Structure 1
Amino acid sequence: MQLEQNRYQIQGVNVLDMAEEFGLPLYVYDADKIAEKIGQLQAAFRGVPLKIKYAAKALTNVSILKLMRSRGIDIEVVSTNEIRLALLAGFEPGQIMYTPSGVSFTEIQEALDLGVRLNVDSLPLLEWMGQQYGDRKPVGIRINPHISEGGNVKIQTGHIDSKFGISIAQRDQIRALVEQYSIPIIGLHIHTGSDFKNADAFLNGAEVLFELASDYPNLQFLDFGSGFKVAYREGDHSTDIVELGRKVTVAFQDFCHQYGRQLELWFEPGKFLVSESGVLLVNVNIVKENPARTFVAVDSGLNHLIRPMMYDAYHEIVNVSNPAGEPKTYSVVGYICETDTLGWDRSLNEVRPGDVLALKNAGAYGFSMSSNYNSRFRPAEVLVFDGKPYLIRRRETFDDLMRNQIEVDFEEEISVKNN
């Protein structure tokens, strides 16, 4: 993807041309960037049997899932609807790892009926699996290692107060249930959060799994989750994938030697694979000069990209319509009837009404966390593949907003009652 000054293109396709063809606001994804990130991971772990399980929640468009499958990637899901999307995209049930968090046993049953693999995240679920299936259904176990790592506290998932996984302090209880019901344990899973800057965070979690693995002689894989840090601005730190591959490979192979046989090493990247592939293109409605600052109001907001307001996430913003304009300082805000600032005090080439702005690193948790708040439509999505833009989701319409609503004429009901 090239969005540098005077080169606002994705695989040679000008983003302004896509804005004109498909309308704004618009999510655009670069298939080449996704392939590049997949290649980085595969190259870094050539020394081990690696399986990459794309964390579908980051971006669930079925065309993106098909692209992942075509690149030899498996998939990790967190709901039965994500399972159905994965199956629709052509994944075999055995390629799908389902890692729920506190869902109903009814949903678990639905997932198992679809034939997917299950990561167990609680002692009650482990016991239910034993009572329902005994030794007939192999499962993985998600462990909470009591490690506080990662970025924003809202995306830290491995600390002692986290709802995710079974506490490592309950190791004896896990083993007791497994032995009581003869539950086949084929994998151990850990995911302590996101935005890890170096390999040491993974090695800390790995040591927990290596130690726990001695309880289970028939493991097939260890799943280290994900959390790779991506760069959101110039000079921002990102996870050194080469260093990660080198250090984790050595530690994993040493473990396998001690364990007595070779296991598979799994990762579940979501943001790492798709974040940099995506941009959100928006139109400038007005430029509003206040005494304190100048606001740029656009035709989008937290209903389309909630990460800045939810996580204080930084997304670089570029004025693609005026690359030669004099830089000025603006705060870019949305049209939602609530504070929905997309970027405070940004240096942008002069912004005028009607200009198109591009918000970078918008591929992960952008559309997938979008909503119809304020009864706004969600945007269209486009995937650029082999130099050609493909519409992979139509823009919503008013009919979409009304599709599941049921109109009841209470005025007539009240009139009948009063008469």
Structure 2
Amino acid sequence: MQLSEQNTYNIQGIDPHQLIEDFGSPLYVYDGSTIKRKVSELQHAFAGINMKIKYACKANTNLSILRLMREIGVELDVVSPGELEIGMLAGYAANQITFTPSGVPFEEVKTAVDAGAIVNIDSIPLLKWFGQTYGNTKPCLIRIKPNVAAGGNIKIMTAHADSKFGISVLLLDQILDVVKKYDIKIVGLHQHTGSDIKDAEPFLQVADILFEAAKHFPDLEIIDLGGGFKVSYLPGDAITDMDLLGRKITERFKKFCSEYGRELQLWFEPGKFLVSESGFLIVNATVVKEDPARNFVHVNSGLNHLIRPMMYGSYHHILNLTNPGGEPKVYNVVGYICETDTFATDRTLPEVSPGDALAFLNAGAYGLTMSSNYNARMRPAEVLIDNGAAKLIRRRETIDDLLLTQIEI
């Protein structure tokens, strides 16, 4: 979704102020056309090979978003039994879902395998258990840690040597010994480098490592390069050049398949890339406080709704929807949580008054899925705009929802 800073904002012809009037504030809004565009960008970049998109749904698990993904041919990557069940409720067949755990109880893996999902094995102990339990009766992928550091923030790098994720490529001999001992059916190798990777080089580097490891597995069907493509947060921000990356990866993948002796399928698991730009969080300014050190804009939301700025130091562009042509002023935009709760520091915005509607852009990923009820605050509603119509896809929480699982004694 792109909202240009003009005097009028709309998404598919719908004024955000009308959305506030209809559904209240704060409010998560997603533009379905943007999700479709991002899927098309990825498909176009890799049109020359047999490529499959597996949406990493931890980014946004709303059933309506998952159903939209399914309708446009995107399959699913999940990381928990809960996400697996939500995916099947959204209409996915279990064999369209990949389960990528991280040190989970083996019972969770059994749940996924028994349901019919394919599992990414992320540790030697799990690989041994899988072999002892299933032998060669169930297929699986192995998640390789390539020991490459790349990404926008150390907290979202997942392939460096100190990362908890995957089995180090340096343990390849041990992997092969376990696979041989239990005759495990390995159909794919997987890796995920991290998030917000702008340049092609890290993707090429890990691809080469995975291709080299793949030569030791004669029955592969899949190479899974994960995701991590960079999205635009700041206006004019550099992003992953998908066409360039597509050309380079395609060239190397075709060469590998030729050397391997047959054509394999290449998987990607984007999450943020597919949904981040589609979403924004609409809030209202509550108090504008002029302080000797800072001017503060307080809003009716906080880290309980969008924790990324406090957790990762992430940037979300902010628009003043009500007064876009106002005199520029510098503010700290802060939330209503009783905690240091800052969305933006020293941010220049058109002058903000109490009641003004503000929009946080790039909020379609890791917004509601990472939200909480901290301070006994309710989560906001969610709205999907698709084909020019705004539909409520999650109602606003009430105090009854907060108390639903509590038991009086």
Q: What TM-score range do you get, normalising by the shorter chain?
A: over 0.9
Aligned to 1:112: 113
Tell me the distance in 2 between the aligned counterparts of 1:190 and 1:95: 19
Aligned to 2:234: 233
Aligned to 1:3: 3
Tell me the distance in 2 between the aligned counterparts of 1:135 and 1:49: 26
Provide structure 1 residue ranges, at least 5 long, that are not aligned to the other structure.
Answer: 409-419
Tell me the distance in 1 between the aligned counterparts of 2:405 and 2:388: 38
RMSD (CA atoms): 0.7
The Cα of 1:353 is off from its aligned counterpart by 0.4
Provide structure 2 residue ranges, at least 5 long, that are not aligned to the other structure.
Answer: none
The Cα of 1:109 is off from its aligned counterpart by 1.1
SS of residue in 2 equivalent to 1:339: coil
Of residues 229-238 and 56-65 in structure 1, the stretch that sits farther from structure 2 once superposed is: 229-238
Paired letter, 2:42: L
Residue-by-residue CA offset, 1:201-247 (whole Å, 9 max, x unaligned): 11100011111011111100100000100110112110000001000
Aligned ranges 1:49-68 → 2 under 5 Å:
49-68=50-69
Tell me the distance in 1 between the aligned counterparts of 2:325 and 2:311: 33
8 Å Cα contact 1:225-1:268 kept in structure 2:
yes
Q: Percent identity?
A: 59
TM-score normalised by length of structure 2: 0.99
TM-score normalised by length of structure 1: 0.97
Aligned ranges 1:275-286 → 2 under 5 Å:
275-286=276-287
Residue-by-residue CA offset, 1:382-419 (whole Å, 9 max, x unaligned): 000101100000000000000001122xxxxxxxxxxx
8 Å Cα contact 1:318-1:348 kept in structure 2:
yes
SS of residue in 2 equivalent to 1:10: coil
Tell me the distance in 1 between the aligned counterparts of 2:324 and 2:388: 23
Residue-by-residue CA offset, 1:96-139 (whole Å, 9 max, x unaligned): 00000000011111111111000000000000011111111110
Aligned to 2:83: 82
Runs of 4+ in 1 over 6 A off after TM superposition: none
Aligned to 1:148: 149
Aligned to 1:416: none
The Cα of 1:82 is off from its aligned counterpart by 0.4
8 Å Cα contact 1:2-1:8 kept in structure 2:
no
Tell me the distance in 2 between the aligned counterparts of 1:109 and 1:367: 28
Name the CA shift for 1:172/1:2 in 2 (closer, same or farther; >3 Å): closer
Aligned ranges 1:334-345 → 2 under 5 Å:
334-345=335-346
The Cα of 1:2 is off from its aligned counterpart by 4.4
SS of residue in 2 equivalent to 1:9: coil
SS of residue in 1 equivalent to 2:277: coil
Residue-by-residue CA offset, 1:127-160 (whole Å, 9 max, x unaligned): 0011111111110000001101111000000011
Count of residue pairs the alignment pairs up:
408
Aligned to 1:411: none
**Is residue 347 of structure 1 aligned with residue 348 of structure 2?**
yes
The Cα of 1:93 is off from its aligned counterpart by 1.1
Aligned ranges 1:224-373 → 2 under 5 Å:
224-373=225-374
Paired letter, 2:48: G
SS of residue in 1 equivalent to 2:9: strand
Aligned ranges 1:45-194 → 2 under 5 Å:
45-194=46-195
Aligned to 1:380: 381
Structure exhibiting the larger radius of gyration computed from Cα positions? 1
Tell me the distance in 1 between the aligned counterparts of 2:207 and 2:77: 19
Paired letter, 2:3: L
Aligned to 1:21: 22
